[in-house]
A and B are shown apart, each in its own frame.
Chain A
Amino acid sequence: AQSVAQPEDQVNVAEGNPLTVKCTYSVSGNPYLFWYVQYPNRGLQFLLKYITGDNLVKGSYGFEAEFNKSQTSFHLKKPSALVSDSALYFCAVRDLNTGGFKTIFGAGTRLFVKA
């Protein structure tokens, strides 16, 4: 079965420090991987995606993610966290076995950046 795991419910980091939000996946075949961010009382916003090519993907607001096929991971990173990065982050994978129609989301990781 296809699945996405975000092992941390919450990540705390001080402003200016690097941050990492972890994601691992389990799909058959080649996955399409995504990160979304949700601010309070808002819908999800796209951050970045990996389809093919360079394993390091750069996205919005200075975020990047590294696709690691051997570890089936797609961790989200940022070199220097901002207080405004505090939000709920979702990792997602498109299930190509169903023609890519279905997107499977992780449970989410809440990021707190302390000033």
Chain B
Amino acid sequence: NAGVTQTPKFQVLKTGQSMTLQCAQDMNHEYMSWYRQDPGMGLRLIHYSVGAGITDQGEVPNGYNVSRSTTEDFPLRLLSAAPSQTSVYFCASSLDRSGETQYFGPGTRLLVL
């Protein structure tokens, strides 16, 4: 199994540009989530999904959209990039919502100029 994969690894955007961060998992996990990691703030939940066709907002959803058309894929879209969205983004998945461990992707480092 490849686990959780993310592309791209690194991206530079100009303010106002849009882009999609890709996330895929091959473990047949129902639960997937997107986090951003900023220095001194740990990981903050952006959006999450409990299954195909079902998504919900986390702590910091503004400026981001998600969709879940398949169990495997959970892309994160930045509609109009802002410098405040400069961060490292992690996708994670777990088998279900309860006590199961989350598996994290390697991350995407995003710089918005």
Contacts and interface: CB of A to CB of B under 8 A. Distances in A.
Interface of A: 4, 9, 32, 34, 36, 41-46, 49, 51, 90, 94, 99-108
Interface of B: 4, 31, 33, 35, 40-45, 48, 50, 56, 58-59, 90, 92, 97-99, 101-107
Contact of B40 (A45, A90, A99, A107): A107
In the A-B complex, list the 6 residue pairs whose CB atoms are closest, starting with the nearest: A43-B104, A105-B42, A105-B43, A51-B99, A100-B97, A107-B42
Contacts of B103: 46
Q: Is the interface of A mostly helix, strand, loop or mixed?
A: strand
A36 B67 CA distance: 27
A45 B105 CA distance: 9
A101 B43 contact: no
B9 to A, nearest CB: 9
Contact of B31 (A4, A9, A101, A106): A101
A90 B9 CA distance: 22
Nearest to B102: A103
A108 B35 CA distance: 14
Contact of B48 (A34, A43, A102, A105): A102
Contacts of B4: 43
